[in-house]
């Protein structure tokens, strides 16, 4: 599948995704070397709305060199050095990361040299990341940022037995970091006797990153985003990396927990925990098998966070007897996620994929009239369908509302996730005959044709 959409219709740029990872370190100042537009957008979107307004997390700053026309002509390195000093004086962070954007990348400012010079002046580490949008794709932004974080990892002073890092998280204290899913997997690890040093980079501290090489094992939060960092840390530091998928449903949860416990010599304890937890959710497992057996599970990612989660959900639907169909895995994301796709294929995940014309014409993951109409038509082609996705869709079948802004039914990972997903499926079937709001549909998609 070859993407032919213009760049503005592709996923987010390298700068955006690099910022997400750096934002996941607590008490860091991301210092954007460029004009105010890029930092204004990411700061407002990520740090203001997602952190402060929605979750009440104390707002941490995003700084900017505020380049203008004269800096673009004569260079902005002097302004950058002064900005690092000002950011340290004003905020006293544990870390400053300079992020170049398109303007500073085009004029070729040497951000790495300025970072080394600034670190001699201020009282914290200063790192530089070349993250100009034209310098790579959205995936290279994540991977280069995770690679940069490795510079903070100090030689181990001791080996912390029974301790792991969780890799592949990002955005820090924001809504998409799914902290209730993290609570669940940390709970299960704790039952086995396994401790977590750091969640990299989902709200970790600089001190935790410094100790990251002292662990016995690295495990994945999301295999897709953790894979590069896990491989690098294994290659450079000799820390084994447990390659497991996302713990949706019983089978994947067992694999995830045993994939960590067995290399640590705790497999027997993990199997005892799994047996106990499985007994506790036996009625939910029985309901999911009865409710989904023979159904067609239609899973849409356009309003859901990412194709890897959609594929993990497809595996869960198949586990409980449904035929999984995934709507709109964008070809661009397939190209950039091939290592993860191959990993999932090897684990037996291979659902039917449908791409709609609306996606290709508009290139957007967001709601569109075309995609909504195509979804409704697709659902009618299947016998006994059930839709997993956003309640803002209006397919003629039961709708399982998996939106992450639905905290009453979080987490979705692990054994508690099984209980919550069973509740959502039960809710979908119980309410399938209730009329949906025509007014709301019209607000989202306009009047029907």
What's residue 330's pLDDT?
66
What's residue 14's pLDDT?
87
What's residue 370's pLDDT?
80
Whose tokens are 């925990």? That residue is: 273
The answer to whether the CB of 79 falls within 8 A of the CB of 68 is: no
Please give the CATH number for the structural domain made up of 7-152: 3.40.50.1980
Of 3.40.50.450, 3.90.1300.10, 3.40.50.1980, 1.10.10.10, the CATH number of 160-280 is 3.40.50.1980
Domain range summary for the chain, segments of one domain joined by +: 7-152, 160-280, 283-445
What's residue 9's pLDDT?
46
DSSP H helical segments within 133-248, as ranges? Answer: 138-149, 179-192, 206-210, 223-237
283-445 has CATH 3.90.1200 classification: no
Provide the angle, in degrees to the nearest 10, between the axes of the packed helices 111-119 and 77-91.
40
Does 160-280 match 283-445 in CATH topology? yes
- Mean pLDDT per 10-residue interval, the chain, length 449 residues: 49 82 88 85 64 56 86 88 95 94 90 95 95 83 91 94 90 56 93 95 91 96 82 94 90 95 96 98 98 95 68 92 87 69 78 77 61 90 92 92 75 94 96 90 81
CA dihedral 86, 91, 94, 97 (to 10 degrees): -50
Query: Coil, strand or helix: which one is 386?
Result: strand
- Residue 202 token pair: 């989902």
- Which residues, in sequence order, are bridge partners of residue 326? 299, 353
Cα 236 vs. chain centroid, distance in angstroms? Answer: 24
pTM of the predicted model, to two decimals?
0.87
Quick count: other Cβ atoms within 10 Å of Cβ 151?
10
């Amino acid at each position: 599948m070859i993407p032919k959409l213009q760049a503005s219709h592709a996923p987010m740029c390298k700068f955006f995704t690099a910022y997400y990872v750096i934002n996941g370190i607590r008490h860091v100042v991301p210092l954007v070397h460029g004009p105010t537009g890029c930092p204004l957008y990411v700061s407002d979107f990520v740090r203001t709305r997602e952190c402060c307004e929605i979750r009440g997390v104390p707002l941490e700053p995003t700084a900017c060199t505020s380049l203008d026309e004269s800096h673009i002509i004569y260079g902005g390195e002097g302004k950058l050095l002064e900005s690092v000093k000002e950011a340290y004086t004003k905020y006293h962070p544990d870390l400053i990361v300079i992020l170049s954007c398109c303007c500073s990348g085009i004029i070729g400012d040497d951000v790495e040299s300025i970072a080394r010079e600034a670190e001699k002046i201020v009282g914290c580490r200063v790192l530089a990341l070349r993250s100009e949008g034209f310098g790579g794709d959205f995936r290279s932004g994540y991977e280069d940022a995770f690679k940069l974080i490795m510079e903070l990892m100090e030689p181990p002073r001791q080996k912390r037995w029974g301790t792991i890092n969780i890799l592949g998280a990002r955005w820090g204290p924001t809504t998409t970091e799914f902290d209730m899913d993290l609570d669940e997997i940390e709970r299960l690890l704790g039952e086995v006797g396994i401790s977590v040093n750091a969640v990299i980079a989902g709200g970790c501290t600089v001190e935790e990153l410094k100790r990251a090489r002292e662990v016995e094992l690295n495990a994945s939060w999301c295999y897709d985003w953790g894979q590069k960092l896990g491989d690098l840390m294994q290659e450079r530091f000799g820390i084994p990396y447990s390659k497991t998928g996302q713990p949706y449903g019983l089978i994947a949860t067992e694999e995830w927990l045993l994939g960590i416990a067995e290399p640590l010599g705790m497999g027997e304890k993990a199997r005892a925990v799994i047996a106990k937890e499985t007994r506790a959710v036996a009625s939910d497992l029985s309901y999911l098998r009865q409710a989904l057996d023979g159904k067609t599970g239609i899973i849409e990612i356009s309003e859901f966070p990412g194709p890897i989660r959609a594929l993990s959900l497809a595996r869960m639907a198949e586990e409980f007897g449904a035929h999984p169909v995934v709507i709109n895995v964008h070809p661009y994301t397939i190209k950039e996620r091939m290592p993860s796709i191959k990993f999932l294929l090897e684990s037996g995940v291979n659902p039917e994929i449908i791409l709609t014309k609306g996606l290709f014409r508009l290139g957007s993951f967001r709601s569109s009239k075309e995609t909504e109409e195509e979804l409704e038509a697709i659902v009618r082609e299947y016998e006994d369908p059930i839709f997993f996705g956003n309640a803002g869709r209006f397919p003629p079948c039961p709708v399982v509302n998996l939106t992450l802004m639905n905290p009453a039914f979080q987490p979705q990972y692990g054994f508690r996730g099984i209980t919550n997903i069973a509740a959502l499926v039960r809710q979908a079937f119980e309410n399938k005959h209730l009329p949906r709001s025509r007014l709301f549909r019209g607000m989202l998609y306009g009047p029907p044709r």
